[in-house]
Amino acid sequence: MYGHGAGGSGYSMGGGGPLGGANLMGRKDKGISVALEPYGEWKIQEIGYDGMEKFIQPESFADHVGKLARKIDWRTLVDSDQSYDNPNLLPEDELPEEEDDEEKLEDETEKEKKEFPPEVGPWHDVAKNLHESLQHINMMLDGLQVMQHLDYLKPLSIGDPIQINEATQEAAVIANNGKAFQWVWKRKALNEVQNAIEASNANRRHLAVGGEASIDETTSLTNLFFREIEELCLQWRIRKTGDHLYGALGYKRYGQRFEPGEIFDITRRSVPINYSDKDGKLQQTILQISVPNDLIRRSKIFVSIFKDDMMSKAIHTSDEANLEYMKVDMKQVDNLYWNDALSWAQETLICRDTFNQLATDAVHLKQRMSSFRDGVLIVALHDDYLLRIELKNYPFKAGDLPDGGDPYLNRALRQMIVNHHAKKVIRSQMFVEMPLTMLNEHLDMRGPNAFTQYEIDERAKRQTCVLEKLLSVASHQRLVKLTVDTLIRYQNECRDPQVKWRWLRCAPTNSQVMIHIVDPHFDFLMGRVTSYLQIDTDCVTLRTKDGKTIDCYRDADRLFNTLKYVNITYFLQAAGTLGKTGWGYHILHGNNNAIDVDGNPPTALLVQCDEHKGAPHSIPHIAIRKSTSRSCPMIRTSITRSFHSNFEKLPGKSFCRKFDNLCAILKD
Amino acid sequence: MDEGCGCGRVLCAGEVNGRVRREASVHRHKGGERKIPPEVMGVSWVIETERSQNSIEQLIESGGGTKIGLFVVDSSTYRPVDQLANNIGQLNVLHHSNFPESTFSLAVTATNDPKQPPPKSISDRGFDLILSKLSGALQMDSSGKFDASGTEYSFKDFRVRVGTVTQGGSVKGVVVEIEYTPTWVANQASMMLSEFINMFFPEQTASKPEIITKPTSDLYTALDTLNQYQQIFNRLRKKA
């Protein structure tokens, strides 16, 4: 089924195809001629039906020379007209004598020599092959030298040495030709490779399981060292200069790395030490880390808000116990596990840099008082409240650090610092189409749009410092607490109508609360009245349903009274709606906001005109007044001159129920 | 002048970091009347006057204007080279300190065809660098450069800029720019500007720019201001 090549030089696939141009599917694929021949193997001349392969012997040196010699056209070199080939052509007087034959031969050989081009002769291929073989031999010699001096390769003798003498030359040839010999050396080589691979696999499995008992101590320590170095490289920035290995504790993404004050040295211990890991198991470590001396302590930053009063002791504390961290035992520090030591040192570095950043920002703050003493920074927040930022140091030992401060503010500060350092200092280059500039701020086409100086200044983003952001977040957090406490107090104290509230938005510097007021028994009349509380960094604002905005600033009592005002407005509206729809009253005067000339508060006046005719003074009417007292605004009702009722004594639990009953009484 | 809220606190509820809150009905900003922020560009009327700069400044200050800074307007002329004189016209390049990032270009064509007004453009300052590369076609006329520099005043809703015009070191005249800031629509500002001019420069009432007298409600642009400046500079160029 395979086509034979011309001259029986082997078989090939593709080309005409193994099936003579048609594959199994019956389509004609041209395919690609591919010849797969192992390098160095003899070409097969013929494969017999019994499986016997007949090889073509490679040409020997003599065969090769003969082949080349046959290519030379001697006639062009010798000249066909010469009498040497055809003596009959020579004239009689020129017939060579025997003595002159030798001379003529010499002349002819000289001519041949002269006519050969000196640079390229018929032996140039030979010379080229010789040169190539010399190079191969040089490569083999290099390989042998590598094998001899280094440990990368190990020569393996797989057969008996064959001494090539003149007498046994045939034996060497036979050995080379013998298939058995070839099989033997191939099999032995493969066996050796297989053994080596199996050994390495077994070693790897053994190491993965963790058993180093079978490996000798030196190897296990070396393995431990390299394993730890690898772990160190994965977590930290490491650099090697000569024989010195060091790393950087720097945490900044942009900017210079390997600052001199943040470098730690890495050395190898002569004897590994034990340490207990997170699970309490004993592990070994062979690496030793030397952190800068000023970072041999554990630090933490606490942020809290407190009220400034004379009794407050929390402003500045200088406790002697706080100086424990200064007593450093270098031996104990050297015996620490490197991972713990590095993470503590980096945390100390971050805390110290954060505190320095905040202190620098405090100096540049305008219209805010701040003081700094003993690692405590105090900044005025608002009203009588102060923001306290403390950097506390602890000894460089294992163990959990005590908690302190406000967890939300602590976390917010860390987030701001990370964002601050994550911001790129240099803007990456962008291709800008129109303005002849690469600056980001010119992308708004301020030149072609003729922006005035004021517009340019307004658009310039002023970089807010970290402390200002922290102050706004802290201020907002305090106002949120104030609002929530006030709402809960209001819900507890004023049960009528029902007040529900929920968060609409919660952000670090602004939040919004939705407040629903509803009387569940009379919701068919009024429905639900919704108001919104907007909490900013410095003010709490109430927006009523009819679009009125009431600023409560930072006063809890003011907020409480505002909520009561909304409540009372609901009552007025409920009374009007109930009287009108339920009992046929007319609303004569229902202005919620206006105060009359005498300073009386707004009044809702309801009157039934259809049923009673007579003097106006005798028409029963309901007047609902809103009290101007800020401390306790409430609704008072008065019904005609002859009948004043104490509204509180009317039957009914809620205002709407009482009013409903009142209208029922009047109707009767 | 309001003395402040009187609550005694440095940071009271009515103000935040010194900025007045517009919704605060109780507290006012400490230290004076509420300042009107300098708005965006308004409608300008530029006049050239025979009076001296000092006298005009005294007049404005006596009327209640407050000095807020300095201003500079300059104009450079680029002329085409002789070989291209028939193909391209002259180009005037102006700058105004109130528009620090902009360059204004006013071309001059040979024909004054009202149907085809000369081209004008506003670009960023990089245009000057491009012009320096085009020195093979357009060359700057150094002797024809005009500079108007002086003082800027704030006068309620007006901005008044009084400056002396110089050409090559020699004083050519005094120019006053009156800008009515609350509007961008030219004909809306027409009456207010006329009243101002009538009050302080009664002799200039007839020199009202065409852009302001147009009945259409086109938006006024900075190019119109610089165009007025250029026209004044052209007149002053002819003066001895």
CATH of the domain at B145: 2.40.320
Select the residue of A448, A452, A455 nearest B122 (Cβ to Cβ): A448
The answer to whether residue B182 is domain-embedded is yes
Q: Is the CB of residue A499 less than 8 Å from the CB of residue A490?
A: yes
The answer to whether residue B105 is domain-embedded is yes
For residue B196, the distance in angstroms to the closest alpha carbon of chain A comes to: 23
For residue A365, the distance in angstroms to the closest alpha carbon of chain B comes to: 10
Pairing state between β B66-80 and B90-96:
antiparallel
The answer to whether residue B25 is domain-embedded is no
Q: Which residues of B touch A (CB under 8 A)?
A: 10-11, 13, 16-18, 21, 23-25, 37-41, 97-104, 122-127, 129-130, 221-223
Which chain A residues touch B126 with a CB distance below 8 Å?
Answer: 435-437, 447
The answer to whether residue B96 is domain-embedded is yes
Give the pLDDT confidence of A220-238 residue by residue, as tens digits: 888 889 999 999 999 999 9
| 3-class secondary structure, A328 | coil
Alpha-carbon distances of A474 from A300, A409, A500, A508, A597, rounded to whole Å: 19, 7, 26, 9, 45
Q: Is the CB of residue A383 less than 8 Å from the CB of residue A474?
A: no
Containing domain of residue B103, as a range? 40-237
A440 near B CB under 8 A: no
Confidence class of residue A668 from pLDDT cuts 50, 70 and 90? low
CA-based radius of gyration for chain A: 52
The answer to whether residue B213 is domain-embedded is yes
Amino acid at A24: L
- 10 Å Cβ neighbour count for A556? 15
If one counts the domains in chain B, the total is 1
Give the pLDDT confidence of B73-97 residue by residue, as tens digits: 999 999 998 888 888 888 999 999 9
Confidence class of residue B8 from pLDDT cuts 50, 70 and 90? very low
Confidence class of residue B10 from pLDDT cuts 50, 70 and 90? very low
pLDDT at residue A359 in the model: 93
Give the pLDDT confidence of B218-227 residue by residue, as tens digits: 788 899 999 9
CA A386 – CA A474 distance, rounded (Å): 10
For residue B234, the distance in angstroms to the closest alpha carbon of chain A comes to: 23
Least confident of A78-92, A577-591, A592-606, B24-38: B24-38
Amino acid at B121: S
pLDDT at residue A92 in the model: 54
The answer to whether residue B113 is domain-embedded is yes
| 3-class secondary structure, B86 | coil
Q: What is the mean pLDDT of chain A?
A: 78
How many residues comprise chain A? 668
Q: Which residue has the tokens 């016997």?
A: A52
Least confident of A16-20, A188-192, A356-360, B36-40: A16-20
CA A276 – CA A280 distance, rounded (Å): 5
Least confident of A133-147, A310-324, A604-618: A604-618
Q: Which residues of A403-414 are buried (b: 16+ CB within 10 A; e: fewer)?
A: eebbeebbebbe
pLDDT at residue B34 in the model: 36
Q: Is the CB of residue A540 less than 8 Å from the CB of residue A533?
A: yes
Confidence class of residue A124 from pLDDT cuts 50, 70 and 90? confident
pLDDT at residue A82 in the model: 53
pLDDT at residue A43 in the model: 82
Q: What is the mean pLDDT of chain B?
A: 80
The answer to whether residue B12 is domain-embedded is no
Best residue in A387, A452, A472, A550 for a mutation probing chain B (most B CBs within 10 Å): A452
Q: Tell me the range of A36-45, A84-93, B225-234 where mean pLDDT is highest.
A: B225-234
Kindly list the strands in the beta sheet with A237-241, ordered across the sheet, starting from the edge strand earlier in the chain.
A237-241, A244-248, A263-276, A282-290
Alpha-carbon distances of A357 from A349, A466, B144, rounded to whole Å: 12, 8, 54
Q: And the tokens for A98?
A: 């025997």
Q: Where is pLDDT greater, at B105 or A632?
A: B105
Q: Is the CB of residue A519 less than 8 Å from the CB of residue A505?
A: no
> Phi/psi class of residue A467: alpha, beta or left (left: φ > 0; alpha: ψ in -120 to 50)?
alpha
Instruction: Give me the residues paired with residue A636 across strands.
Output: A625
Confidence class of residue A311 from pLDDT cuts 50, 70 and 90? low
**Omega before residue A497 within 30° of 0, cis:** yes
CA A323 – CA A357 distance, rounded (Å): 23
Give the pLDDT confidence of B174-188 residue by residue, as tens digits: 999 999 999 888 888
Chain A residue with CA closest to B222: the answer is A450
Instruction: Give me the residues paired with residue B123 across strands.
Output: B103
* ipTM > 0.95 (yes/no): no
CA A345 – CA A396 distance, rounded (Å): 9
The answer to whether residue B18 is domain-embedded is no
A447, B126: Cβ pair inside 8 Å? yes
* Short-list A268, A250, A270, CA closest to A258: A250
Alpha-carbon distances of B227 from A450, B93, B105, rounded to whole Å: 14, 11, 9
Which chain A residues touch B99 with a CB distance below 8 Å?
Answer: 450-453
Q: Where is pLDDT greater, at A74 or A126?
A: A126
Select the residue of B13, B37, B125 nearest A553 (Cβ to Cβ): B13
A436, B16: Cβ pair inside 8 Å? no
Instruction: Give me the residues paired with residue B99 across strands.
Output: B96
Confidence class of residue A158 from pLDDT cuts 50, 70 and 90? low
> Phi/psi class of residue A157: alpha, beta or left (left: φ > 0; alpha: ψ in -120 to 50)?
beta
Select the residue of A366, A451, A538 nearest B16 (Cβ to Cβ): A538
